[in-house]
Amino acid sequence: MAQRQDFRRIGLLVPSSSSVQERDFSKVLPEDITLHVARMRLSNVEAESTLRIVQEIETESQKLADVDVDVIVFPATAPSSRNGIGYDQELIKRIGAACGKPATTASTALLEALRVLYAKRIVLGAPWSTAVNQTVAAFIEANGVEVLAREALGLVRNLEIGLLDPQTAFDVGRRVNRPGADAVILACGNWSTFSIIDQLERDLGKPVLTTNQVSLWHALKILNCKPLGGLGVLLREHIPGSTSAEPTETPTDSELPRTTTDLLPATNTS
């Protein structure tokens, strides 16, 4: 019979309209790590909703603590950067105070990833509005990283973002890239990106960081897990204490579930 010490548990705090994150995380997690999810209400990615979502953070964190997760992750870049520098740390403190569990956010993980990659200049692509992208860019710059270029697809409804094909992330990454950028950031947890990270890194010759990828990486780093292949240089080479281990390969692009491909043209014409 399996004992508690034989496996670990990651808790996710996701927006209620998230359709991508459970699938992506579950697909790539090692067999000895289980995923447990709580939801906080958010339908649209806009200024008010990204602030309001965290009103539920204590209640939902306590629910995850009921299943004795080892770490809690809030893998949402826009909400965790919403109030500027230090806001992500405030949220981590709120989670810890509510349930006593270690925690991280997508914004915290992103800043840590930029630090370990020595990335001081980045470009930022996202599916949400220009206004939300500006808020995220301001958070990044307030933390000492220069944003050379930005691109936003202009979507507001999170369900529509979740239907975007991963090719949209690949295309945005190529368009927004600049020669002087140390890394490319593709932000938004409901944007499917896992299947394009490795290929985009090969094409651009630099690290590609996405919301779910950095959130997963930081959780695995906190748990001192083995590296993962197939999700870029960050998870392959930057999990301390496991560099001697062979990376666990994630599914190939063709093996990962595809999202609906015909929505982007319709949403961009509105």
Q: What is the band of 267 on the pLDDT scale with cuts at 50, 70, 90?
A: very low
- Of 243 and 178, which is predicted with more confidence? 178
Query: Domains of the chain (ranges plus CATH)?
Result: 4-268 (3.40.50.12500)
Say what the pLDDT of residue 4 is. Answer: 65
Question: What confidence tens digit (pLDDT) does each residue in 60-111 have?
Answer: 999 999 999 999 999 999 999 999 999 999 999 999 999 999 999 999 999 9
Predicted structure pTM score: 0.86
Q: Are 176 and 151 in contact (CB under 8 A)?
A: yes
Please give the pLDDT value at position 174. Answer: 98
Looking at residue 193, its pLDDT comes to: 98
Residue 8's pLDDT band, with cuts at 50, 70 and 90, is very high
- Residue-wise pLDDT for 148-198, tens only, equals 999 999 999 999 999 999 999 999 999 999 999 999 999 999 999 999 999
253, pLDDT greater than 70 = no
